[in-house]
Amino acid sequence: MTDFIKTQNSFANGVVSPQFYTSDNIHGLSRLENMDVMSGGGLTRRAGLKTIDTLRTVGRLIPFSASDKCEYMVVLQDGHIYIYRNGIRFQDLFSPWTIAEINNLQYAQRFDTMIFVHPDSRPRILRYKNNRFYLETFGFSRNPADFSVNMPFVRFDDSVDVTISVAAHSTGNNYAMFTTNTDFWTPDCVADYLQLLGRQWVITEYVSPTQVIANTNGTYSLPTESVSDWQEGAFGTRRGWPCCITFHQDRLVFAGSRGWPCGVWMSQVGRHTNFSAGTGLDDEAIFVSLQSHARQHICTVVSSDNLQILTNDGEWAISSRPLTPSSLDIRQHTSVGSYTNRYLPPQRVEGSTVFVSRSGTDIRELCLDDFGERYNATDLCPMAKHLLSSPIDIAYNAATRQLFVVRSDGVMAVLNQNAALGISAWGTYTTYGEFLSVGVCDGITYVLVRRQGTIYLECFDINVMHDGPGHDFTCIACGLPLRIGHHNARKIRIRKITARITDTKSLSINMQRLVLPNVVQSDDSPGYSGDVSVNLLGTTTDVISPLWTLHSAECKPVTVLSVTVHGRYDV
C-alpha cells in the first residue's frame, strides 16, 4: 500500500451526484445539509430561523417595494392577504383567490402598483397609497367620445368560419340580436366584448348556442348580409384572462391566455390601461403572436435588456429598441422550455434571468453571448440534478448570493453562487417540519414552514442558532470517495482526519465528537480556531463511501476551512 495525504481546501462545487465521483478536479461533496459554501470555498453552518407569525393556511410569499423606501412582505393565503413590514404584521386584506389559484398567480410591480394576473379571473391591482394597501379590480380605460373600451380584440381560430346575422331587438335602438351560422355562443359569453359594424358591443344575454343579445353605445345601421369581419375581446370569462405580466419600456405587457396561449399584448407607451392599436403609431399598442413549428404556450415574460418570452417549448426575445408596432425583432433563441406545473417566477441573478426548466430538474441561466446578439440557456446544476425535483417555489437573495428552491417534499435546495470567485455550490436545507414557500425582502430571506400542522412565517437570521420555536437542526458535510493520481482507490486505510476550523464550538468527525480546546459554551464567547483531528488507525473504509463526514447536532457555530486525510491506499 502507498501512503497519501489529501487535502481539500475548497468546496466550491458543492454537492455532486454519484455519476461524477470518478471525475478529477472536482471540489465537491457527496452531501451538504444545512451548511453554506462561503466565498473563500469553506463551509459554515447556516443561519437559524426566527419566527415572525403564526398563519392560518399554506400560502405564498411576494415582496413589495414601496416608493417611501419601505419594504413589505406580502403573504397570499386562501381568503387573506397579510402584509408585513419590518417583521410585524402591517395590514390584513381580503383575498379573492383560492390557494390553487395563488400557486399560478403572476405579478409585476411598477412604483406603488402591483398587478396580479390569473387565466381564470380578471386582473387585480394591489396599490399602496397614503401608507395603506388597497386591492382593486383592473379595468381597461374608456374613450370619452363613445365610452368604448381600450382593450385588445382578436379573431380566435374557432371563429374564423363563423358569420353573424344582426337583427333589431325590442329592448332598444342600441340593442341587437346576433345569430351565428353554427353553434358558437356559451353562457360564459355574457359581459364579453365584440367588435363589428365599426362599433364595440357587450353581450348582455345568452339565448342559445346560436343567439345572444348585445348592446352598443348609440345607434347602428342593420347590415343587409351576414357579417364575417368581426372580432372578440382578447380577454373575458369565456376566453380567459392574461396568464403572464410584466412592464417593459413603459408598456404594460400581458401574455398568454386560455384562448390565445401564444399571444403577447403590449399597452400604449405610458398608458398602461390602453391596449388600443389605433393607427399603428409608434406609441400605440402592439399585438404579436409567436409562430413556430411547435405550439407555443407562454409561461412567463421578463423585462430585461430585451423582452424575454419563456414558453413551454423555448426561450424567445423581442430586442427592438424602441419597441414600436412597425419594428418588431422577435425570434426564438433556445429550446429548453419552462416549467408548467405551477408558476415559479424567474429570478434576476447578476444581470441574467434564472428560470426552472420544463423538466423541473434544471435551473437555467438565460444570458446574452459576448456579442450581445443571442441568448444562451446555461445549466446551473449540471452535477447536482438529483437535488432538484418537484419544485414549488423559488427566490434569490442578492445580498447573500443564494438561490433557494423549495421542493414538494419540504426540503429546500440552495445554490451558493459567486461567479467572480468560482463558487457554484448546491446543497440542501432541512428543518423540523417542511418548507412551503420562500421569498426575499430587503436582503432577508423569509419562508413559510409547516410544523405539526401549524404554519409559521419565519426568516433566516445569522444571530439565531435554532429553528423557529427552539428546534435544533443538524448540519452535515460529507466528502467524496478517494481518487489518487487520476485513479480510483481500491482499498483505503485511513490513519487520521484533520479539519481546519475557525470560531467553531461543536464538531464531530466520522461520528467522533471533538473536545475543542478552551471553548466556553456561552452565546457570546468565541469558538475554537485551529486544527482538530481524529485518529482512525486500523480503520478500513468502503471505497465508495464518503472519505469523511463532518456534522454537528448542536445549535452552535461551525466553520470549516479545509479537511485533510492521512492514510494508505491500493489501486
User: How is 502-515 classified by DSSP, letter by letter?
Assistant: EEES--EETTEEP-
CA dihedral angle for residue 168, residue 169, residue 172, residue 175, rounded to 10 degrees: -80
What ranges in 413-569 are assigned the alpha helix state H? none
Predicted pLDDT at 280: 86
Q: Which helix (H) or strand (E) holds 84?
A: strand 80-85
Region of poorest pLDDT, from 90-104, 281-295, 383-397: 281-295
User: Which residue carries 437573495 as its cell?
Assistant: 397
pLDDT band for position 515 (cuts 50, 70, 90): confident
The average confidence (pLDDT) of the chain is: 93
Which stretches of 133-248 are DSSP H helices? none
Q: Residue 546 has what pLDDT?
A: 87
Assigned C-alpha cell, 300:
412567463
Ranges of beta strands (E only) in 98-173 are 106-110, 113-118, 121-129, 132-137, 153-154, 164-168
Give φ, ψ of 304 to 5 degrees.
Answer: -135, -145
Residues 6+ apart with CB under 8 A from 113: 125, 126, 127, 128
Whole-number Å distance between alpha carbons of 456 and 449:
5
Element (DSSP H or E) covering residue 100 = helix 99-102
Residue boundaries of the structural domains of the chain: 2-44+482-570, 153-233
Task: Give pLDDT, residue 522.
Answer: 65
- At residue 539, the pLDDT reads 67
CB-CB contact of 318 with 332 (8 Å): no
Q: Can you give the pLDDT at residue 81? A: 97
The C-alpha cell that represents 441 in the structure block: 425582502
Q: What is the pLDDT of residue 541?
A: 67
In the prediction, which pLDDT does 151 show? 95
> Which pLDDT score is estimated for 147?
85
Q: Is 314 exposed, middle or buried (0-12, 13-18, 19+ CB in 10 A)?
A: buried
C-alpha cell recorded at residue 468: 423557529
Kindly tell me if the per-residue pLDDT of 523 is higher than 70. no
Q: So what's the pLDDT on residue 568?
A: 87
Provide the CATH topology of domain 153-233.
Thrombin, subunit H (2.40.10)
- Does pLDDT of 107 surpass 80? yes
Under a CB-based contact definition with an 8 Å cutoff, are residues 403 and 349 in contact? yes
Amino acid at site 269: V
* Mean pLDDT across 143-159: 92
Name which CATH class applies to 2-44+482-570: mainly beta
